[in-house]
Amino acid sequence: MKKAFVIVIIGLLIVFGGIFGFKAFVNSKIAEAMAHMPKPVVTVSAATAEIAHWHPQLRAVASLAAVQGVEVSPQIAGNVTAIRFHSGQYVQAGTPLVQIDDSTQLAQLASDQAQLRLASSNLQRTKELIATKAASQAQLDSAQATYQTDQAAIKDIQATLNKLTISAPFSGYLGIRQVNVGQYLTPGTKIVDLQSWSPLYANFTLPQSDLKNIQAGTPVQIQTDALPGQTFSGKVTALGSAVNSTTRQIEVQATIDNPKNQLRPGLFGELTVVRDTTEKVLVIPVSAISYNTFGDYVYVIHKEKKDGKTQETAVQQVIKPGKQRDGMVEILSGLKQGDTIVTAGQVKLVNGSLVTISHDA
């Protein structure tokens, strides 16, 4: 029984040994064949690291504000008797917007005008009497004072009437109406927003270290995600009178052109301060950079001769990128001018891969 068991074990060892031995033999032959096969050549796109002249830029987040903007509200309480505007309408300065009940004031004006006419007649009559010495100087002074008092009363009631007719204080665009006819308004009640849109202020802050690089007249550009792909230009018009002692930032205000009224007060965007000077920077396309946990790198194409033929090999090179602009990135270290780097096809590459450069557009 034991002898049969041993024979079975030996048989199994022979069978499995043959199987594994055959697999090892096949694998060795495959490896040998692969070793003699030429390395695959990967087609890639490439570009050259080159020197560019960039204007140094300062960046900040800016908030847009109207040069003139206000919440229109009444100064005197009363009921709304007429609304003379539509939401979103453009109005000129002085355009009547809302009428508050002025019936009492109009009645008072009529009474004051009658008093003024009487005072004018009395003053004229007193002047005639004093010419014949039939009236005293005191009577003339009293008549003159009464006339001037009645004049002042009319001016006062007219000023009140002007306040009851609420008009646009400047030209601009109206917002959404907040009141209705018949509504009782108190002083300060919001009636509607009025904003001027062109130009606009862009308010932002910069660190105190940038104070030397900015002054009134310095060009700026702003972009906002509300209008992607569009850039609006302007100039710095004012700097804060002091640096904030807590944040060490200085307030800056620029005036932005908005000729087509596309921007709105309240928007925010990325503002760039463009300095007059230029600097030389080494740049490559952003698409050339690959990223991993060990750092940023690119594939540099090296040419070498082998067996009388020129080969192009892609070699990984760690780099230190800097600022980005218009699809290009500044290279602070790791490359030199004239280096050829892979810009497309990196996903197929490993360090040392053979490549051929595609010249298709």
Assess whether 251 and 214 both reside in one domain.
yes
Q: Does residue 56 or residue 232 have the better pLDDT?
A: 232
Assess whether 88 and 234 both reside in one domain.
no
Q: Cβ(121)–Cβ(72) under 8 Å?
A: no
Assess whether 154 and 258 both reside in one domain.
no
Q: Is residue 8 part of a domain?
A: no
Assess whether 272 and 321 both reside in one domain.
no
Its domain, for residue 352, covers 41-52+280-357
Domain boundary among 277, 292, 320: 277
Assess whether 286 and 264 both reside in one domain.
no
Q: What is the pLDDT of residue 108?
A: 92
Q: Is residue 22 part of a domain?
A: no
Q: Is residue 33 part of a domain?
A: no
pLDDT (mean) for 99-125: 91
Q: Does the pLDDT of residue 129 top 60, yes or no?
A: yes
Assess whether 144 and 87 both reside in one domain.
yes
Q: Is residue 14 part of a domain?
A: no
What are the pLDDT digits (tens) for 15-36?
Answer: 666 676 667 666 665 555 545 5
Assess whether 269 and 232 both reside in one domain.
yes
Domain boundary among 277, 299, 326: 277
Q: Which of 126, 142, 44, 143 is nearest to 341 (CA)?
A: 44
Q: What is the mean pLDDT of the chain?
A: 87
Q: What is the pLDDT of residue 57?
A: 77
Q: Does the pLDDT of residue 288 top 60, yes or no?
A: yes
Which strand ranges, in their side-by-side order, compose the sheet holding 78-83? 165-167, 96-100, 78-83, 184-185
Question: What confidence tier does 357 reach under pLDDT thresholds 50, 70, 90?
Answer: confident
Q: Does the pLDDT of residue 38 top 80, yes or no?
A: no
Domain with residue 351: its CATH number is 2.40.420.20
> What percent of the chain lies above the pLDDT cut of 90?
49
Domain count across the chain: 3
Q: Distance of CA 209 to CAs 19, 206, 213, 253, Å?
A: 75, 8, 8, 17
Q: Is residue 30 part of a domain?
A: no
Question: What confidence tier does 322 reach under pLDDT thresholds 50, 70, 90?
Answer: confident
Assess whether 268 and 294 both reside in one domain.
no
Q: What is the pLDDT of residue 253?
A: 96
Domain boundary among 227, 246, 277: 277
Q: What is the pLDDT of residue 307?
A: 67
Q: What is the pLDDT of residue 21?
A: 66
What are the pLDDT digits (tens) for 179-223?
Answer: 999 999 999 999 999 999 989 999 999 999 888 888 899 999 999
Assess whether 85 and 183 both reside in one domain.
yes
Domain with residue 160: its CATH number is 1.10.287.470
Assess whether 205 and 252 both reside in one domain.
yes
| Backbone torsions φ then ψ of 181, nearest 5 degrees | -60, 135
* Partners of residue 181 on adjacent β-strands: none
Q: Is residue 32 part of a domain?
A: no
pLDDT (mean) for 52-56: 81
Q: Is residue 231 part of a domain?
A: yes
* List of residues 6+ apart from 279 with CB closer than 8 A: 53, 54, 55, 56
Q: Does the pLDDT of residue 313 top 80, yes or no?
A: yes
Domain with residue 239: its CATH number is 2.40.30.170
Q: Does the pLDDT of residue 361 top 50, yes or no?
A: no
Residues in the chain: 361
Q: What is the pLDDT of residue 168?
A: 95
Q: Does the pLDDT of residue 303 top 60, yes or no?
A: yes
What are the pLDDT digits (tens) for 226-276?
Answer: 999 899 999 999 999 999 999 999 999 999 999 899 999 999 999 998 877
Q: Is residue 220 part of a domain?
A: yes
pLDDT (mean) for 45-52: 89
Assess whether 268 and 334 both reside in one domain.
no
Assess whether 181 and 225 both reside in one domain.
no
Q: Does the pLDDT of residue 344 top 70, yes or no?
A: yes
Q: Which of 347, 343, 348 is nearest to 358 (CA)?
A: 343
Report DSSP letters for 132-185, one per residue. TTSS-HHHHHHHHHHHHHHHHHHHHHHHHHHHHEEE-SSSEEE------TT-EE
What are the pLDDT digits (tens) for 149-188?
Answer: 999 999 999 999 999 999 999 999 999 999 999 999 999 9
* 3-state secondary structure (DSSP) of residue 257: coil
